[in-house]
Chain A
Amino acid sequence: MKWKYGTPLLLGTENYVLQSVNPAAIPDEFVTWFSDPEVMRFMNDPMGMDKSKLASYFSTYNNKTRIAMTIYDRKIKSPIGIFKIYIEAPHNHCHTSVLIGDKSYWGTGAVLEIRERVISFLFKGMKLNKICGYVRGRNFPALFNYTKQKFTKEGVRKQHMRNHEGGLDDVVEFALLREEWLKRQEENSNEETARG
C-alpha cells in the first residue's frame, strides 16, 4: 500500500474502512460515544467532550507517532468506532486501542477483523517489531479478543489506571511480536495449501 508518513491513513477490510480522523469534521457520533458511560467504561479518554473539545483532542494525532482512525461500516458508510495507534519509534513498537461506539457491533467480530488489518499494516507496512495492548481487568470482551488473536499476556499491573467512577483498575498487558505473527501467517498459509 502507498502511504506517506504524516499524511492521513486509509485502511480497508472486507466489511470496514478505517480513515484518519479529520479534526475539522468530527462526526456527531463521536459526541454521543464520548458521553456514554457504557461505551467509555474501559477507555482512557476524557468523557463528555463536545465537538470543539473533540476537535482539539484529535488534532494531537499527527499521523506519525499518534494515529486515530474512524472506523466506518463499508456498506452503510456510517462511523461505528475509533482505532488508535501510538508508535514508539525508537523501540520499534506501538500500542493500540479500539473503541466500538455503535453498540450494535459489539460481539460481531468487528474488532477481530479490524485489528487483523491494522496488525498487518503495522508489521508489514510500518515494519514494527511488537504490538502491545493494555486492557482493563474487567474488560472481558477485550480479554477475549486479544486471546483469540493470539496475543501473549505479559503481565497484570495491579490497580494501575483510574476509571471514570474514580476507582483503580488492574490492567492486563498483551503483546504480539512480529516473528510470532509471521510464523502464524506461514502456518495458516501452509494449512490452506494442504486443504487445496
Chain B
Amino acid sequence: MDSPNIEKAISLLSSILDCPADSISENDTIETVEKWDSLNHMRLILKIEEEYKAEVDPDTALGLFTVKDIAAYISTL
C-alpha cells in the first residue's frame, strides 16, 4: 500500500471526524474509531465522491470500513 494513500485516507477521516490526524492510524476501522458512526460514514463517502469525482456503488461502499480499505479505493481513482 502506498503511504500517500494511507495519509490521504487518514486526512479525509480526520477532517470528517473533526479529530487530529495523528489520532488515527492505518490499522483503524469502524470498530476502533468511536466517532466513525453511520452519519460520518455517509459524509466520508460523499467527500470521497466530491474530491475524486467518482460515484461509489453499493459493493464498493460495503468495502470501505477500514483506513486501509479507503486508501486502497483511493488508489484506484
Give chain A's interface residues, CB within 8 Å of chain B: 106-109, 111, 137-138, 140-145, 147-148, 153, 156, 170, 172
Contact = CB atoms under 8 A, between A and B. Distances in A.
Contact of B38 (A107, A153, A156): A107
Contacts of B65: 144, 147
B37 A107 contact: yes
A108 B58 CA distance: 23
Given A144-B30, A147-B65, A148-B30, A156 B58 contact: yes
B39 A107 contact: yes
B45 A140 contact: yes
Contacts of B45: 140
- The residue in B30, B31, B42, B58 that gathers the most chain A C-beta atoms within 10 A of its C-beta is B58
Contacts, number: 48
Contact of B39 (A138, A141, A170): A141
Contact of A141 (B31, B41, B59): B41
B: interface residue count bin: 10 to 19
A140 B61 contact: yes
B54 to A, nearest CB: 14
B75 interface: no
Contacts of B15: none
Instruction: Give the top 10 A-B pairs by smallest Cβ distance, nearest first.
Output: A107-B39, A137-B58, A141-B38, A140-B42, A144-B41, A144-B38, A107-B37, A172-B58, A141-B42, A106-B39
Contacts of A140: 38, 41-42, 45-46, 61
B62 A143 contact: yes
A147 B59 CA distance: 12
21 contacts: A106-B38, A106-B39, A107-B37, A107-B39, A137-B57, A137-B61, A138-B58, A140-B42, A140-B45, A141-B42, A143-B41, A143-B62, A144-B30, A144-B38, A144-B41, A147-B30, A147-B62, A148-B30, A148-B38, A156-B58, A172-B62
